Structure 1
Amino acid sequence: MSLDTRPPRQTPVRHVATPRERDEQRGLPTRSLLLALVLACITLMVVDRTSGEDSPVEPVRRVVGEVLGPAEAGVNAVLGPVLGLPEMLRTNDALREEIAAQDDEIAELRREAHQNPYDVARAEDLRALCAMATNTGYLLAPARFSGYSSAQSFSSTISIDAGADAGIRPDMTVVNGDGLVGRVLEVTSHTSTVLLIVDADSTVGGKLGESLESGFVDGRGGLADGDPLDLRLVDNTVLPEQGQQVVTWGSEGTGPYVAGIPIGEVSKVYEDIRAGTYRAVLEPYVDFTSLGDLAVVVPTGEDTRVIEPEACS
């Protein structure tokens, strides 16, 4: 039997590195060095804050700024557009939304501008009718012009959108904010036909100026400004004066013409030297080519919708 004379194997003891040795192996400063650096930084910060412009750190700060400033500017120039891209995209989206909102606003303003002349004209018509109701004291049933008569009718008539259901009856006086328009000829449930005072078959009793000389106003059959009215005074020796106003003579009740409604004013006066008489031409206050909001004079106590003067203010 052989004997093993070799010495027993010994297991090497493994060395465990301390934290300081591990930091040295990694190339890191020791903890004491870090603590010293932190204390030094705090000290410099306190000194810099309390010294103001005389800070001992100021020369170092200046040198660092001169060295790193250009590099920082270059980096910002390169990375600035990239870093600002998300904000730019958000800004563009907001800009597009703002442009869309402004386009909508512009479209609305255009619609208002197109509608505005019509609305302004209607408002003026209604204000004038309110003034007419206030000044005359008559009850006025509102109506709207809806059309002229056909050329084949050979008469100057119009249609309005108020009829028997609104308390309208034949021989009622029709006005607008400027003065006398005509009288009601025919009525249906919802419409009426109005004979204009410019019709060749129309004759209206009138009073001239402050003298209140009585006369008759005859139509010539035309709607335009060149087709005025003729005034025949009962006393044809009275000399009318240019600019004198003529108002309706009027009759009892509401028709065919109530009293005190303006018709027009004297624009020309003609003298018949041989007969020693005068004839006047009237320019009507109403523009018969641009009728809009009208009203019909209705008697008091009528159960109908009327323009209330107190509601016009």
Structure 2
Amino acid sequence: MKDSRRSRLFLGLLLAVALVLITVDHRSENTPVFGPLRTIVTSAFGTVERGVSTITEPIGGFVGALAGAQGSREQITSLKAQNAELEGELSSQRIDKRRSAELQAMLGLSGLGGYKVVPAQVVARRASPGFEDAVEIDAGTADGIKPDMTVLNGQGLVGRVVRATTSTATVVLLCDPASSTGARIENSGELGVISGLGANGNSGRRIMFRLLDSTLPITVGTRLVSFGSQQGVPYVAGVPIGVIEKVEATPGELTRTAYARPFADLSSVDVVGVVVEGPKRDPRDALLPPAPKPAAKPKPKPKPATTALPGQQAPPQVARPGVVTPETGPANQAPADPGNTAPENTQDGDAAPENTAPDNTAPDDTAPGDTRTPGGRDGETSISDDEAA
């Protein structure tokens, strides 16, 4: 009981002192009695408060992160799903745009050549019995497709149909080793045979061309078109095939061999057209792409003028008739040598040049003795004809 009374008494005393101090400090506003003390206490408690907040803030943030971890995880998962969906839509748009361009090119080529085609898309690329390079398309007999029909795309010949079901068909590509077709050189009637070399044949050159007449010339850059089969089966005429990239020398053989790059990219075939009806007339070379322009030959650089070094004589410049150059013009003519002056050809009166050399003067004719000087040199005696006789 004594302890509790003392405690209550002490607490009451402290409260009374605090109340007195607050009252005194409040009444002395202009000159606070405890101003310096308040400043010291505030500074001390501010330092302690900053230190405590530095420690407690990371702890509070960590506790808050743990509390909201589940919601953040769900938000991240949702954002990833939205990102994947947008990427898929963008990829689909790019694919659709590319396929639309390929379809337009294929329809343009077939329309220009007069081919009636059924558009199709490659759905698989697999080997087929008897063929190592074939593709599967999403069109079949229900669309009017039959075996031995020509297949092309916007660039040129792709291959031919070998099998067909109700909804699909198998197309053997032009580069297959078992594939062959007749070909014609552009702007001529020279014929040859195209054969496939496989996917990796001859360092990336996909087809081989054998010209039937070995005496005819064939050069790199020559373009080939399909010659066509009887009734357009399996190949119609006039479809662009490729361009010659290499010619091999075949001495003694009956044919000439060359390697060509197909116009159609046979490694990434996508949109194709199956020719269900051939043209009424052979389009010949009308479907070939524009020939590339030859590269411009570089202009020869002018030779710099030869400058004579001190103590050396500059080489003579020979001027062509009617051509005046800076090197041979009047301002740059070399000075004439006094000891080797050539006679000038004067046009007035067509006068002959005079020989002014003193040592080469011809003597006057003397009638009395017809005296002559045999050598015309100093120190020699002239004799007459009578004395010589």
Query: Which residues in structure 2 correspond to 1:51-62 (within 5 Å)?
Result: none
- Number of matched residues? 256
**What's the CA shift for 1:197?**
2.5
Does structure 2 conserve the Cα–Cα contact (< 8 Å) formed by 1:271 and 1:277? no
When normalised by structure 2's length, the TM-score is: 0.48
Q: Structure 1 residues 203 and 181, CA, compared in 2 at 3 Å: closer, same or farther?
A: same
Higher normalized contact order (CA 8 Å, seq sep 6+, divided by chain length): 1
Does structure 2 conserve the Cα–Cα contact (< 8 Å) formed by 1:214 and 1:249? no
The structure richer in helix per residue is: 1
Quick check: 1:68 aligned with 2:42? yes
Q: Structure 1 residues 240 and 94, CA, compared in 2 at 3 Å: closer, same or farther?
A: farther
Match of 2:183 in 1: 206
Query: Which residues in structure 2 correspond to 1:103-122 (within 5 Å)?
Result: none
What is the aligned-residue identity percentage?
A: 26
**Unpaired runs of at least 5, structure 2:** 1-14, 18-22, 279-389
Quick check: 1:270 aligned with 2:248? yes
- Distance in structure 1 (CA, Å) of the matches to 2:32 and 2:110: 93
Does structure 2 conserve the Cα–Cα contact (< 8 Å) formed by 1:164 and 1:187? yes
Instruction: Give the stretch that moved more between structures: 289-298 or 99-108.
Output: 99-108
Does structure 2 conserve the Cα–Cα contact (< 8 Å) formed by 1:125 and 1:177? no
Instruction: Give the stretch that moved more between structures: 68-77 or 87-96.
Output: 87-96
Does structure 2 conserve the Cα–Cα contact (< 8 Å) formed by 1:122 and 1:293? no
Q: Structure 1 residues 141 and 219, CA, compared in 2 at 3 Å: closer, same or farther?
A: same
**What's the CA shift for 1:240?**
1.9
Match of 2:199 in 1: 223
Q: Please, what is the CA RMSD of the aligned residues?
A: 5.0
Match of 1:50 in 2: none
Does structure 1 conserve the Cα–Cα contact (< 8 Å) formed by 2:25 and 2:32? no
Q: Structure 1 residues 168 and 59, CA, compared in 2 at 3 Å: closer, same or farther?
A: farther
Query: Which residues in structure 2 correspond to 1:64-103 (within 5 Å)?
Result: 64-75=38-49, 77-78=51-52, 88-94=62-68, 97-98=71-72, 101-102=75-76
- Distance in structure 2 (CA, Å) of the matches to 1:131 and 1:213: 27
The structure richer in strand per residue is: 1
When normalised by structure 1's length, the TM-score is: 0.58
**What's the CA shift for 1:161?**
2.9
**What's the CA shift for 1:269?**
1.5
Q: Structure 1 residues 66 and 156, CA, compared in 2 at 3 Å: closer, same or farther?
A: closer
Match of 2:173 in 1: 196
Tell me which of 85, 102, 126 is aligned to 1:148: 126
**What's the CA shift for 1:219?**
1.7
- Distance in structure 2 (CA, Å) of the matches to 1:112 and 1:225: 41
- Distance in structure 1 (CA, Å) of the matches to 2:254 and 2:46: 109
**Unpaired runs of at least 5, structure 1:** 1-25, 29-33, 45-55, 301-313
Residue by residue over 1:59-78, the C-alpha shift from the partner in whole angstroms, topping out at 9 and shown as x without a partner, is: 98676333312123324544
Match of 2:163 in 1: 186
Does structure 1 conserve the Cα–Cα contact (< 8 Å) formed by 2:177 and 2:196? yes
Does structure 1 conserve the Cα–Cα contact (< 8 Å) formed by 2:207 and 2:259? yes
- Distance in structure 2 (CA, Å) of the matches to 1:230 and 1:171: 21
Residue by residue over 1:185-221, the C-alpha shift from the partner in whole angstroms, topping out at 9 and shown as x without a partner, is: 3322012132332345543233434x24442333246
